[in-house]
Chain A
Amino acid sequence: MIKIVKRDQPSRAIFFFTPVLAIFLTLVAGGLIFFILGFKPFEALKFFFIVPIADKYGFSELLLKATPLCLIAIGLSFCFKSNNWNIGAEGQLTFGAIVSGGVALLFYEQEGFYILPTVILAGAIGGMLYASIPAILKTYFNTNEILVSLMLVYVSKLILDYLVVGPWSNPEGFNFPETRQFSDSAKLPLLFEGLRIHAGIFLALAAVVISWFVFYKTYLGFQMKVSGFSLKTAKYAGYKGKKMIILVFLISGACAGLAGVGEITGPIGQLHREISPDYGFTAIIVAFLGRLHPVGIIFASLVVAITYLGAETAQIFMQIPKYTGQVFQGMILFFLLASDYLLFFKIKFMGLKK
């Protein structure tokens, strides 16, 4: 007999175990899907998860891909921990990229040590500005931040479209929707010759360390935690809720903006219409897979990054449709949410009694 019993308290061990379980189940289900599609499941999984990172170049690409995901997810964890549902990181990334790209274009064909820091700062400020919109509307007008932040994603993409098609388009570029290439001084330095991994990874690592410190060592972190558990308690404790809401949105926006900066001043080197393959949305999966814990988010960003790379390798070597990468991302989230059931319920196996 199997019986499902409600737990008295959510299990802490299970809390950190379910992401691992979710990844395992995703692999099993993925293998099954490959089998049904007529591919050898183990070979397919090998091309998906091992081959892409088997050499130095592949591993550097994994880090390159994981950097924006990690950075955004860290920022989002500030919001999610404190019950603020910022779904618009993609928009904050885009707007950050717009502002920093604009500054980079101002310095076109100029050299100087001050250019890059200015460009980076501009991106962070751009992301913060954009995130402040849903935050202010939420605190002062009681709007729903999920809707506002999400809708602003589309607005930011249209602003970017307008700029790269019109006023910022490359004058020598036959009106194609792209800007000029940034000068070298406005680009993040590469860490190794021949690899694309750039100094942006240090921004992500710094965000990890700072967020860990804030979450577990500061009063703000404690406030966020209490607000996350119960808004009423937070109010009763006398926390200034509005200030905190705006602060977590600003942090989150800055992180997303910096991720945008990393893309355009790193591997892309200019502004055009497609600067992010929806990093802002995928980072939501990363944040939850990492259990909103800074270290967990590092691992989660690596796992999710590999689904992007693996999908390419699997198509090149085995002709598996590339869109399976998105199926894998969806499955990870699905299994994670499903296995969270185990947090609150336990399954009891009981002996057969007559």
Chain B
Amino acid sequence: MHKFLIRSFVSSLVLLFTLTVAAVAKDVKAAFVYIGPTGDHGWTYQHDVGRKAVEAAGFKTTYVEGVPESADAERVLRQLANSGHDVIFTTSFGYMNPTNKVAKEFPNVKFEHATGYKREHPNVSTYAARFYEGRTILGTIAGTMTKSNIIGYVASFPIPEVIRGINSFTLAAQKVNPNIKTKIVWAFTWYDPGKEAEAAKALIDQGADVIAQHTDSTAIVQMAEKAGVYAFGQASDMDKFAPKAVLTSVENNWGPYYVDRVKAVANGTWSQKDTWHGIGDGMVVISDLDSQMPADLRSKVKKLQADLASGKVHSFTGPIYDQKGNLMVAEGKTADDGMLAGMMTYVKGVEGDIPK
């Protein structure tokens, strides 16, 4: 008899627990729109990791992958808004106009657009990460590890986000090694393993012995592995693709933000926001540091990471000069977010011109 009691007690506990979880979830459904396949091990992959965190928090999620930024994006968004989703994350810049357009038609659905700047309706928020903080770390490592003093950088598009990354990387590298030069190759793609590998090869041929990237595939670290030079993983921890070449990776960690926002929708506390989180908020994460790096460099990097997180160190602290030697940020000052958001000039030490 008492066995039966215990059993029913336990099962009712389980039931209660399930009910509580269900009640918390309040049937809020989140949708994610991806530009690439979830298996790209870069940008989209990391957003999907974030989505899984939302699932783990007890919410239902849906995703659509490979949605082109053509006229198709709008239809996918409308379909998601129409089929009972309460919050929709659109995870590529090109979805900006369709997101705002569809948001106008569905005032009760919340829209979260990554990396854009338009919030035309009260139900549209934007979010992005301060990846440049991660690049300060990479620059410090690259400046220390290079022997040829030439660092290669595969860039995607000449937009402020990418220029900012190049600058922050170069400034940090110069700080530890004033002789370094950053050579840029513009791949004009976010994801094209063939083109990215070619770009990396061109840089290696020009003497670069550390390669950084602002494109999403694993082709560059694999090329570096083959050529015996160092590289850094982008978006996700790419160590397993090139264990010798990859010194560390800058990971995009969207999970906490996603869970936070979906919970806000469930609680009815969601409001329009423009989020720009960095290392301190955990949106930018530095992967394990490779043991090839000297111990003092590793501890230096750890400290820098902590200082960036606490705000003690800012990636853009003056004096900063542009290529022509004009002062961009005065001594003792730091660049404000407005300047960072519109940054379209290289700092001193970067080679070449920004494609116009």
Asked, given contacts A176-B93, A181-B97, A312-B76, whether A323 binds B66 with beta carbons under 8 Å apart, the answer is: yes
**Which B residues, 56 to 74, have Cβ-Cβ distances below 8 Å to chain A?**
62-72, 74
Residue in chain A with minimal CB distance to B342: A174
Residues of chain A contacted by B63 (CB below 8 angstroms)? 315
Q: Which residues, 290 to 336 on A, are CB-close (under 8 Å) to B? A: 308-309, 312-313, 315-317, 319, 321-323
When distances are taken between beta carbons in the complex, the residues of chain A under 8 Å from B72 are 277, 308, 312
The docked-state distance in angstroms from the alpha carbon of A273 to that of B190 is 12
Assembly CA distance A99 to B92 (angstroms): 27
- Give the contact stretch, choosing among B153-161, B212-220, B225-233: B153-161
Return chain B residues, CB-CB under 8 Å to A317. 83
B71→A263 contact, CB < 8 A: yes
Q: Given A274-B94, A316-B79, does the pair A267, B74 have CB atoms closer than 8 Å?
A: yes
Q: State whether the Cβ of B325 lies closer than 8 Å to any Cβ in chain A.
A: no
Residues of A within 8 A of B94 (CB): 178, 272-274
Known: A273-B69, A323-B66. A313 touches B79 (CB 8 A): yes
- Chain A interface extent, by class: 35 or more
- The answer, among B68, B188, B341, for a CB contact under 8 Å with A174, is B341
Nearest B residue to A268 via CB reads: B71
- Interface 1/0 per residue, B150-192 and A, CB below 8 Å: 0000000111100000000000000000000000000010000
Check A274 against B66 for contact (C-beta < 8 Å). Answer: no
Contacts of B129 in A (CB 8 A): none
B318 within 8 A of A: no
- CB-defined contacts of B83 to chain A, threshold 8 Å: 316-317
How many Å from the CB of B100 to the closest CB on chain A?
11
Known: A64-B71, A176-B159. A316 touches B66 (CB 8 A): no
Picked from A57, A269, A316, the residue with its CB within 8 Å of the CB of B64 is: A316
Interface status of B240 (Cβ within 8 A of chain A): no
Number of interface residues of B (CB under 8 A): 35
Residue of B66, B70, B72, B82 with highest tally of chain A CB at under 10 A: B70
Q: Does A117 lie at the interface of the complex (its beta carbon under 8 Å from any beta carbon of B)?
A: no
Nearest B residue to A317, CB-CB: B83
Contact between A161 and B188 (Cβ–Cβ < 8 Å)? yes
The residue in A175, A196, A268, A270 that gathers the most chain B C-beta atoms within 10 A of its C-beta is A175
A277–B356 Cα distance when bound, in Å, is 26
Q: Is A275 an interface residue (CB 8 A)?
A: yes
Residues of B within 8 A of A267 (CB): 71, 74
Sampled A-B contacts (18; CB under 8 Å): A61-B75, A165-B158, A176-B157, A177-B159, A196-B74, A267-B71, A270-B97, A274-B94, A275-B70, A276-B70, A277-B72, A309-B75, A315-B63, A315-B65, A321-B65, A322-B64, A322-B67, A323-B37
Besides A165-B157, A272-B94, 4 other A-B contacts (C-beta < 8 A) = A57-B82, A174-B159, A176-B159, A323-B37
Residues of chain B having any CB pair with chain A under 8 Å: 31, 37, 62-72, 74-76, 78-80, 82-83, 93-94, 97, 117, 157-160, 188, 341-342, 344, 355-356
Q: Which 8 A-B pairs have the closest CB atoms?
A: A267-B71, A274-B69, A277-B68, A274-B70, A175-B159, A166-B356, A315-B64, A322-B66
